[in-house]
Each structure stands twice: as structure tokens, then as C-alpha cells.
Chain A
């Protein structure tokens, strides 16, 4: 089984870092993974995208043409990448930042990742909230291994990230469009 996951947002949200953590957790779990980061020339505030492929077979073509799952952390990301979503693909959004859904997913999950991160005093952990929501909504990777990978990535902020991850898991909900 191969999952093509496209993570869209803007530079500074940690979209690519989230993709790196997700791919790293998948590899730890014995799966194969590839991450293709892309961003515009502006970096912070510009467009940013992480294409993550996770597969139980060795990945031959590591890039994504039409994702199975789109994670939109900004309206701009949705506008840019919404139309690429595969027919019957699934969507995860930051419900506060993405109001206008520009695709026809079979399922939509939402979490107010940025608001939750703000409530923890660090907007920078919005991507970790999103990872919690991701694993709750879609599974694909093991929750414990994913959390472990997050902690190893940010050893000095382990508690904060653990909380962000749990809140993402608890607050994600399926929404009807």
C-alpha cells in the first residue's frame, strides 16, 4: 500500500519539518518513505509544500502527481494544491485558516491547529498539533513511534510538543461539507 500525502502551507509553519518527522517515523517503523520539499524563493511567508510518500514496498517513483491525502494549513495552500487531490482523496485542514475548500474530498477532517498552538503560547507547534490530528484521522504510521520521533527531533521542548501532539489527536474531527 502506497500513500501519497501532500502537505501545503506557508513558509514558517513547519510544513517541511512535519513531513520530515512523518517520513522519519515511517522509516523507523520499517516502511519506506520519501519526502520532496518545495518552497518559493521567499521562504518565510511564501508558499511551502512537503510531498511525503509512505509505502510498505520500496518506493520507485518518489514524487507525487495526485495525492491521496491533502493537508492544508493555509487558504493559499488549499488554493494552490486543492485541485491536485485524487478523486475520493481525503483532506485535513487547519479549520481556522482554511475556510474555502476547493476540492471534492471523500472525507474532510479539521483541527484548529494554529489556535491550539497559540493557546500553548507557541504558534510554532501548530505543525505538531497537525501531526497529532493526522495520525488520529488516518493512522498510516504508528502513533507511539511518531510521538517518539517528535521528541527526538526537539529534545529540549519534549513536553510542549507532547502536549501539542495530544491536543491534535483529541481535537481533530470529521466535518461535513
Chain B
């Protein structure tokens, strides 16, 4: 049997979100998984521990989340696609090395299946409290990409997208899922493999002596793997184009600007979102993840009541999809932001909106029922 035949078969499946994520990673070409168990992300690691050896790939359970993400970076430096999955407490431990991954430009995928927090919170219950942490959790200036699925299908699709984006831009990419989307089973359509776009990082093939691992000629430098025979120095210290530590102003500016601009300049290509009933909407609800499922039901019911309501479901949270929210705010009287936290995504919405913005917040642990969102909508129109 060829390796490809051992991947999840194209066609219709009924599958748990976490397992769809793991299978998507296999299809995307993930060769290395390192992780430490934590609810509600466990099914990803459990499934990978069985599946990776079947495919001749590597799975390792590390001693904690810090070691897991460091191992993932090491595998990426060796040239393979690598991932880990965790939840809030483990995600917090990974923050320093997510910054290192951005600095060393080592592509990797981190799945955070959000649970109720803060701290240990309620491990088996849902939350959406890691929106800001996913973007700003590591210190210093860097940019990364955060995707957020609301269905099993999106969890599958966005995991593949996460690998592609991380390889394309050489950045850490976070899939910010949640307990319900992770544990829920749903209909999954796996496309034929030749219809699935797979991106691999661009590699350097020129003369060895001319290679600059952090060349600023392009936004994304060409990659060589540890073990390819090149002399490479990698450091979290601010470095020059050769990778050696530097205190020079031009080196620092060049590097940090490039790390940030490779995402900012491509932001429009990274924005993924879906809209519903925006054409004549007086009130627009901006939302993501499992809350989007509740919101869509509420918005459809509100339309049945004759209320002019629309919604924007964000699949990309960061870089924040500014344009669709800005445009909607130019026509709407009010924007509402529905999320299972006390107000996080509302901040970037406020930054771009040209009309008043209010939150529909639901304390962590439970999914707001459609009726709750509908009450928020009724109060706003």
C-alpha cells in the first residue's frame, strides 16, 4: 500500500473535530508531532500517536508543553513540517518558544483547543479566552497568523491551511479551536487529494558560500535544513542576514520590519471570513468559532422577525480582517461582537469600526444559546 492510500480517504465522513484536525495534519504533510496531554485537545495527540507510526512519521510525548514546542521547532529546523496541540495552560507555557519560532522563522503549527479559564479553569468545558494571547502572548514585535474554525469541516480545512501558511511565510501559525468544535462530531467532506493545495517552504539551491539564511532581499528568506551541510547559526538574539548576533541599528530594523511585514503585506491574502445578510443590515454581529454557530441561528431567527441583521464569521482572527468589518460599519448603525469571554475580539473591531460597537459576552464554560444572542440583537436594533 502506498503512503497516500493510508491517509483519510476522500469522501464523506462523520468525525470528531479533534480527529479531523489530526487527519488534516497528516494530509498536509506533518512529519513530526510532539505534545503533552491536556484536555480538551487529547484526542489529537492520541490519534497522532497511533497514526504517525503507521505512516512512518514521528510522534513523541514530551515531558511538558515547553519541551513539546521546542522539539517542534527543532524538527522544523531539520526541514520537516511539525505540529503540537494543547489547551490554555499548556498554550501559556509555549509562549516564549512561539516567539522563538517567529524569530528563527521556523514554520510550525500550534493547535489550541480552548477551554474555560483562567488558569486551570474547567478542563472539559468551552472557552474563547485565548484570542488576545494567541496574538500577543510572546514578547517583542512579531506577527503570526491565527485561524479559528466553527465546524468540523473548517477545523480540517484550516489545519491544512495553517501548514500551508506557516510554510509559505515561515512563521508559527495557530489554529484556535475550542472544546465544542474539538469534541463535536460532524459531517466532513475530504476532497480528492489532487484538489488539496499543499505548500512547502521554498528551499535555497544556489552556491553554498553565497547563502544568507536571513537575507532581506525577499520578505521570506529561502530555507536550508539543519543537516544539509550548510554552516548556519540560529539565535533568538537579534541577528544579521548571516544569522549572527548584531547590535547594529540597520540589522535590527531590517530584521524586525521583515518579520512583521511578511504578514502585514500579505494580510489581505490571509483574511478568511464569511458574511451573511450584510446587504441591508442595520446591525452586524461579528463572531468566530463555536459562537458563530449560535449566532447564525440567532441571525436567521432575527430575519424571520423582520430585523435587519447580518453577520461576519471570522475564520482568520489575526491578522485581523479589517476591511470587511470596516465596510460593514460604514453601512450599519451598530456592530455587535459575540464571544465566549468578557470582551477580547471586540478590541480590534472597535479599532476599525466607524459605528458604535458593543459586546455580546458570555462567561466561559458554556456556549451561548441562540436565544441569548437574539436578545442582544433585539436590544441593539
Known contacts being A23-B185, A41-B124, A63-B367, is A33 close to B14, with CB within 8 Å?
A: yes
How many contacts A-B (CB < 8 Å)? 57
User: Contact: B187 with A63, CB < 8 Å?
Assistant: no
Known contacts being A35-B185, A36-B184, A37-B183, is A61 close to B14, with CB within 8 Å?
A: no
User: Contact: A27 with B180, CB < 8 Å?
Assistant: no
B14: chain A residues at CB < 8 Å are: 20, 23-24, 26-28, 33, 35
Q: When each residue 27-54 of chain A gets 1 if its CB lies under 8 Å from chain B and 0 otherwise, what string results? A: 1100011111111010000000000000
Known contacts being A32-B187, A35-B184, A41-B124, is A65 close to B369, with CB within 8 Å?
A: yes
B296: chain A residues at CB < 8 Å are: 60-61
Q: How far is the CB of B296 from chain A (nearest CB, A)?
A: 5
Task: Say if the beta carbon of A62 comes within 8 Å of chain B.
Answer: yes
When C-beta atoms are compared, the residue in chain A nearest to B373 turns out to be A61
User: Contact: A34 with B124, CB < 8 Å?
Assistant: no
Interface SS of chain A: mixed
- Complex CA–CA separation, A32 to B369 (angstroms): 20
User: Contact: B297 with A60, CB < 8 Å?
Assistant: yes
Task: Say if the beta carbon of B300 comes within 8 Å of chain A.
Answer: yes
When C-beta atoms are compared, the residue in chain B nearest to A53 turns out to be B186
User: Contact: A34 with B184, CB < 8 Å?
Assistant: yes
User: Contact: A60 with B300, CB < 8 Å?
Assistant: yes
Q: When each residue 88-115 of chain A gets 1 if its CB lies under 8 Å from chain B and 0 otherwise, what string results? A: 0000000000000000000000000000
Task: Say if the beta carbon of B12 comes within 8 Å of chain A.
Answer: yes
User: Contact: B185 with A20, CB < 8 Å?
Assistant: yes
Task: Say if the beta carbon of B213 comes within 8 Å of chain A.
Answer: no
B58: chain A residues at CB < 8 Å are: none
When C-beta atoms are compared, the residue in chain A nearest to B122 turns out to be A41
Kindly list 12 other residue pairs between chains A and B, CB separation below 8 angstroms, not including A24-B14, A27-B187, A60-B300: A19-B185, A23-B14, A23-B185, A33-B187, A35-B184, A35-B185, A36-B185, A61-B293, A63-B180, A63-B294, A65-B369, A65-B371
A41: chain B residues at CB < 8 Å are: 124
Task: Say if the beta carbon of B370 comes within 8 Å of chain A.
Answer: yes
Q: When each residue 1-39 of chain A gets 1 if its CB lies under 8 Å from chain B and 0 otherwise, what string results? A: 000000000000000000110011011100011111111
- Complex CA–CA separation, A55 to B81 (angstroms): 38
Known contacts being A20-B14, A23-B14, A65-B369, is A34 close to B186, with CB within 8 Å?
A: yes
User: Contact: B124 with A61, CB < 8 Å?
Assistant: no
B151: chain A residues at CB < 8 Å are: 62
- Complex CA–CA separation, A41 to B123 (angstroms): 9
User: Contact: A61 with B370, CB < 8 Å?
Assistant: yes
- Complex CA–CA separation, A113 to B320 (angstroms): 53
- Complex CA–CA separation, A125 to B184 (angstroms): 24
Q: How far is the CB of B181 from chain A (nearest CB, A)?
A: 9
User: Contact: A62 with B370, CB < 8 Å?
Assistant: no
- Complex CA–CA separation, A115 to B287 (angstroms): 48
- Complex CA–CA separation, A24 to B151 (angstroms): 16
When C-beta atoms are compared, the residue in chain A nearest to B188 turns out to be A27
User: Contact: A33 with B186, CB < 8 Å?
Assistant: yes
Known contacts being A23-B14, A27-B14, is A36 close to B187, with CB within 8 Å?
A: no
- Complex CA–CA separation, A59 to B293 (angstroms): 9
- Complex CA–CA separation, A39 to B124 (angstroms): 8
Known contacts being A20-B14, A24-B14, A27-B12, is A62 close to B184, with CB within 8 Å?
A: yes
